[in-house]
Structure 1
Amino acid sequence: MQVNRRDLMKWAGAGAAIAGGLAHAQDSGPIKLGFISSLTGAQAPLGQPMLLGAQIAVDQINQAGGVNGRKLELVVRDDKAKPADATVAARELAGSGVNLHLGVVSSAVALALTAMLEQEKAVLITCAAHSDKLTKENFNRHYFRVTDNPYMKLRFMARGIAERHGNVTAWSGLIPDHEYGRTTWNCFEEGLLEYYPSVAKKQPTIIKAIKTQYGATDYRNVIGAAMGLQAEGFFNSAYGGDAVTLYKQAKPYGFFKKAKVVVDSANEFVVAKAMKQELPDHWAGTHWYSGAFTDVPMSNAVFEEYKKRTGDEYAVGWVGEGHAAVMAYAKAIQEAGTTETQAVIRALESVKFDTTCGPRYFRKEDHQAVKPLIMYRLRGSKAASAGFEVVEFVKMPGEEFIDPPTPGQPLAFKFVKV
């Protein structure tokens, strides 16, 4: 399928190049966007698809004539999921005139970057970093999150689980002992306590989550501890290569026979592609699934381009989120008529932009994107060519689950004590 030029031209203007006076040396030639993310190491399975999605967006926009007559160009840096490497990269990019950044897998990296954005007169749109602090107590106007956040996503997932597995009431978790792990568990627990009584008509029992180490290579002690719990449902938020290691080591112990339901916060197809036929039946959160958006032309176009470049039938959602971040910048730059930092921030606060999940926008108060929420049920399959299959998916509007905007204040839970 070819990209529809008329659709793209809605947001990518074909006018003359902007003349003179733009900040950060972006007054002629291509508009450079700094892409900073984890491209090597355990989190590369998240960062690399994100980069591919961003590059597909850049190529589509350039083929349609660019933004206000100027081509886009990605300037790529690998942060290795290390805050120090990310801040060095961001300063180097800002020093060379690149003030508009996107990407980022790790919340720790995102928090480090947001602390320096105002000083460097830069903007950052993250595609995966999910710490609630980024749009709450640590919020600043130079930061935007283009994807969903854990509060909205995991309450949605808990609602879906309560509807389909209401008989499983005893829950625990396997969570990394860092910002992302603690945040995701708190939000999922909040959802269980909120929706089980109203949807499943039962009161859930919450058993303290077992904490794991980031980048661990041996999860046997963690698995052993989980096997001793009375829980029947388990939530996992180890991600990327860590999740692959955890799942592979858990299977011989019979963990997936003990667990009646397993909910994975956001690994999408990452574990499935590694385990194939050995993949246990479980639910996984995703940021974009092409099968859920067949009525969205941009989703179809990006999916076809993804398949053409990779030969793969299962695009992970980070492809869509990398694509969405570029789309947001393209629309904002078009509206602002400049790449100057404050003008782009103001435009990002007001525009709607097309994405693989349909139109999306940032809330002005806290710069959290509002978008649909999706999860799917996966399992290994000898009959499927990929070695696994999507059994079913659930999609609901993000507006139904999003938290109130409270920049400068911690995330407030109604049911969980933190």
Structure 2
Amino acid sequence: MSMNRRQVTAGLAGALAGAVAMPRIARAQGEPIRIGLISSLSGPAQIYGDANRIGAEIAAERINAAGGVKGRKVEIILRDDKAQSDLTVSAYRDLTASGVRFFIAGPISGTVVALAPLFKDTNNVLVAAGPNNLSITHELFNPNVFRLQLTSIPVFEGLGKVVAEKNPDVKDWIGISNDQQANIDLSNIFLNSVKKTLAEKGVTANIHELVLTKQGAGDFRSPIATLASSGATGVLNSLVGSDSLTFYKQAKSFGLDQKVRIFADVSANLASMATIANATPKSVWTPPYWHAPGDPNPISQEVYKAAVVKADTPYPYGFIALAHDAVVAIAEALKTAGADDAKSIIPVIEGQQPMGAVGPIEFRKEDHTYIGTMTFINFGADPSAKDGLKVAEVVRIPSLPYMEPPTPGKPYAIK
């Protein structure tokens, strides 16, 4: 069939218009979907950044093995911020200059607090894996930012309820914390939850004054003596990192573990506790964020199996699962939306609930905070176990009943 010049010109114009109107994801079948991961890949917080990296890489491998996102491979682009906010911002600007528009950051809250405002009125999307700072989804709320982590409020209110329900005869409680306000707040959330839960059972709790110490103090003999002389049979340990491990070792030498029936710990992880197994108490409750053994979720088992190899430990960090699920949230939204612009992706992430390693990946629409399942474990020293530790019980409960109300654009004051 012959065509005149006007028909050819019109045909070309129509084809070009169709190409422009076509969603970009349909025009770039061969291009990888690049997701920028900004985390602490070196420095004092490297152990957390490595967990995010491992989780993101496992997710990309699983997605690509299943055919990618509509045939497109997922590629993780790494940037190291050394847990320093200025480097986080620099990494973001570097990645956006190269065309990256989907991001994962965390788990250090301070870096995400610095990063989140930069996404306002952009075509970029951030799923922050691990930070629990309240401001991210309250006064700093940004529709382009999702937080895949619970805040301290539901976690430690839930922990207090579980511990009190499991041990209603332990009614004398005391806590030790560093003098950072965030740790003091979460300590009080836990202790108030214990008191409230016991009251519902008709038991009057005796909550002693919180014992405070300096962060990085190293010598906890005096605070331990205060804990021991209080008569409390339940102790909350709100110390973190090396301070927490030092506390347990010194507490063991003072015989505190013989006087206290139940310990609750804000941040104990099995990998670290295995290094001091002989100083670990017999009963410790903690929120690991992810505990795969015994989890009926097959994705959790797949991710755990890969994480054990990549992290070279039988106790991979929960941040691995959170970073994995952040990649899944982005990839599944791209599949559903059929386009890769923020306006198309955001409502899909708000409404979808794809299954991840930690369970359904669900965000509260009003403020984009994660509203998934909370996991708590009870573990303790067991000389007969391979690593000297044994997990005695796992409890999983929904987070929504314990969450603070949404206040997007406004601060939320812990009561």
Partner of 2:326: 325
Pair 140,331 (structure 1): closer, same or farther in 2 beyond 3 Å: same
Aligned pairs, how many? 394
Residue identity in the other structure for 1:104: G
Report if the CA contact (8 A) 2:211-2:223 is conserved.
Answer: no
Residue identity in the other structure for 2:297: V
Report if the CA contact (8 A) 2:29-2:72 is conserved.
Answer: no
CA offsets 1:59-78 (integer angstroms, 9 cap, x no match): 00011111122111111223
How many angstroms apart in 1 are the aligned matches of 2:62 and 2:177? Answer: 38
Task: Give the % identical residues.
Answer: 29
Matches within 5 A, 1:4-403: 22=24, 29-118=31-120, 121-178=123-180, 180-199=182-201, 201-213=203-215, 219=220, 223=224, 226-227=227-228, 229=230, 231-281=232-282, 282-293=284-295, 295-310=296-311, 312-403=313-404
Pair 91,267 (structure 1): closer, same or farther in 2 beyond 3 Å: farther
How many angstroms apart in 2 are the aligned matches of 1:104 and 1:41? Answer: 14
The farther-off stretch of 95-104 and 41-50 is 41-50
Report if the CA contact (8 A) 1:34-1:93 is conserved.
Answer: yes
The farther-off stretch of 322-331 and 312-321 is 312-321
How many angstroms apart in 1 are the aligned matches of 2:356 and 2:373? Answer: 11
Partner of 2:405: 404
- CA RMSD after TM alignment: 3.0
CA offsets 1:121-166 (integer angstroms, 9 cap, x no match): 5332222211222222222222212122221111111011111222
For the pair shown, which has the larger CA radius of gyration, 1 or 2? 2
Pair 301,19 (structure 1): closer, same or farther in 2 beyond 3 Å: farther
Partner of 1:3: none
Residue identity in the other structure for 1:356: A
Partner of 1:4: none
The farther-off stretch of 248-257 and 298-307 is 248-257
Residue identity in the other structure for 1:43: A
How many angstroms apart in 2 are the aligned matches of 1:117 and 1:182? Answer: 31
How many angstroms apart in 2 are the aligned matches of 1:238 and 1:312? Answer: 23
- Matched residue SS, 1:349: helix
Pair 297,192 (structure 1): closer, same or farther in 2 beyond 3 Å: same
Report if the CA contact (8 A) 1:349-1:362 is conserved.
Answer: yes
How many angstroms apart in 1 are the aligned matches of 2:349 and 2:267? Answer: 26
- Matched residue SS, 1:125: strand
The alignment's TM-score, normalised by the length of structure 1, stands at 0.84
Report if the CA contact (8 A) 2:336-2:348 is conserved.
Answer: yes
The farther-off stretch of 360-369 and 303-312 is 303-312
Partner of 2:6: none
Report if the CA contact (8 A) 1:136-1:411 is conserved.
Answer: yes
